[in-house]
Amino acid sequence: MRILVDHSIDKKERSNIITLAGVAKAAKAKDKSVINATIGMLYDEDEKFYTFRSVSKAEATMSDEEKYPYTNTIGIKPYCDAVLKWVFDKHLDYFKENEYISIIATPGGSGAVSNTFSNYLNAGENVLLPNHMWTNYIQMAYENYLGYKTYNMFNENGTFDLAHIKETFKNILKTQDRILFVINDPCQNPTGYSLTKEEWLGLIEIINEVASEDHPFILLYDMAYIDYDIKGRDYARENIYNFRLLNENVLVVLGFSGSKTLGLYGLRIGAMIGLSKSKEAIDDFTNACQFSARTKYSMSTTYGMYLISKVLGEEPYLSEFKAELDEVTAFIKKRSLAFINSANEVGLKTLPFKCGFFVTIVCPNDDLVYEELVKKGAHIIPLGGAMRIAICSISEEHCKVLPKLIKEAIDKVNR
């Protein structure tokens, strides 16, 4: 007997990351030699869960009143102020003086994505997603009665495919009057690609060409890994500063992930920030997204908001946290170099990589390769024609070893 409504009958978990990560975690609990490169969380060189010292120190000062009471849907003021300052840094005053800004606390960056999908396309319309993506975007689209189309991330030169994106914008406007475009940058999940300044300026130029009063444009900027850009936090903020060049028919929704930035994955805390030259667009953003927040999850965690407001808004926690982020970025860089160099040595092709938590390899028959790797005690994520390796969670030594194991598994499957 089926009781579900029609839309819900096809709801089955299709994003395999959490499931396969659970399998890998159980295997490693039995055998410490297992390589678990499945999940996007930071682990140290001993492959122990990494905790920021500054975060732990700030947490130790929290009162029960800061941890457990109800708060409000938008988010407590110290949290909102600290996040805005962190995200925009020295450019915050410019945007406050020249544009309109609104912020709403969300359960991680995921809440920001989901609320945007809820409010900026009509049922049956398509969101634009990268062809290499965090696959939960697709499930979020379905949950909100949306379809999706993909744009090519890379051209034949291995750089950001602006030409295809421009064509995709034109094509989607043939069937709907607005564009919701999702980009995850820098340190893209799953490829580790980061746009250059020139690529960002090129993208902004293309957006301005299509964004008009009749064709509003929503740029959903998933910035979950912004604080791990190898070029530094200031460089990443310069790309945000370039949003000032977007015209008045563009709404930028910045999805901040406190979960990723501060290593608070299970605490589920983030924010969505609306930015536009249009006051009406930001007023609508605040009303609609606050409504969605209240109806979906009521409010974000008080514990997470007060903790982050201390780390990002108070000294000495802030200075120590920045130093720790630099340390983490450095050891992830060492791991990525170890993996890429080893992959090159064994002839394993990766998608264009710059920095971040993940590397992705091109891999036909990835499900069969996954099974072979599990036999060898190595766990990575099959993505359908590709496989994602979470270098954030394995040691530098395992980054050196893993490409050879993957290449052997691929060769065996394709023999």
Cβ contact 335:341 at 8 Å? no
DSSP string, 82-127: HHHHHHHGGGHHHHHHHSEEEEEEESHHHHHHHHHHHHHS-TT-EE
Cβ contact 259:265 at 8 Å? yes
Residue range 61-93, pLDDT digits in tens: 999 999 999 999 999 999 999 999 999 999 999
Lowest-confidence region among 1-10, 365-374, 380-389, 395-404? 1-10
Report pLDDT for 12. Answer: 78
Cβ contact 272:252 at 8 Å? no
Residue 5 has pLDDT above 90, yes or no: no
Quick one: pLDDT band at residue 296, thresholds 50, 70, 90?
very high
- Percentage of residues in the chain with pLDDT exceeding 70? 100
Picking from 102, 151, 139, the residue whose alpha carbon sits closest to that of residue 18 is: 139
CA distances from 35 to 25, 113, 125, 192, 295 (A): 10, 31, 41, 20, 41
Would you kindly state where each structural domain of the chain is located, as residue ranges? 6-52+319-413, 58-313
Quick one: pLDDT band at residue 21, thresholds 50, 70, 90?
confident
Report pLDDT for 196. Answer: 96
Residue 13 has pLDDT above 80, yes or no: no
Report d(CA 268, CA 362) in Å as an integer: 31
Instruction: Provide Rg for the chain, Cα atoms.
Output: 21
The secondary structure of residue 242, as a DSSP letter, is G
Residues near 98 by beta carbon (within 8 Å), at least 6 away in sequence: 244, 277
- The C-alpha angle 392, 143, 298, rounded to 5 degrees, equals 80
- The C-alpha angle 34, 36, 38, rounded to 5 degrees, equals 155
**CATH of segment(s) 6-52+319-413:** 3.90.1150.10
Q: Which token pair is 30?
A: 């039995």
Across 170-192, average pLDDT:
97
Report d(CA 180, CA 129) in Å as an integer: 9
Residue 110 has pLDDT above 80, yes or no: yes
Q: Which token pair is 241?
A: 């500063």
Report pLDDT for 19. Answer: 85
Across 271-280, average pLDDT:
98
Tell me the pLDDT of the chain averaged across its residues.
95
Give the bridge partners for 130, in sequence order: 151
Report pLDDT for 6. Answer: 85
- Percentage of residues in the chain with pLDDT exceeding 90? 91
Report pLDDT for 20. Answer: 86
Across 345-374, average pLDDT:
94
Report pLDDT for 15. Answer: 64
Report d(CA 407, CA 413) in Å as an integer: 10
Give this prediction's pTM: 0.95
Helix (H, G, I), strand (E, B) or coil at 251: strand
Q: Give me the sheet containing 358-362, strands edge to edge.
A: 358-362, 386-390, 381-382
Report pLDDT for 1. Answer: 85
Report d(CA 261, CA 320) in Å as an integer: 14
Residues near 314 by beta carbon (within 8 Å), at least 6 away in sequence: 58
Neighbours of 342 (CB within 10 A): 18
Report d(CA 74, CA 81) in Å as an integer: 12
Residue range 34-50, pLDDT digits in tens: 999 999 999 999 999 99
Cβ contact 236:229 at 8 Å? yes
Residue range 280-293, pLDDT digits in tens: 999 999 999 999 99
Across 328-351, average pLDDT:
96
Lowest-confidence region among 14-18, 55-59, 345-349, 377-381? 14-18
Report d(CA 407, CA 120) in Å as an integer: 43
Report d(CA 31, CA 48) in Å as an integer: 14
Residue range 182-235, pLDDT digits in tens: 999 999 999 999 999 999 999 999 999 999 999 999 999 999 999 999 999 999
CATH architecture of 58-313: 3-Layer(aba) Sandwich (3.40)
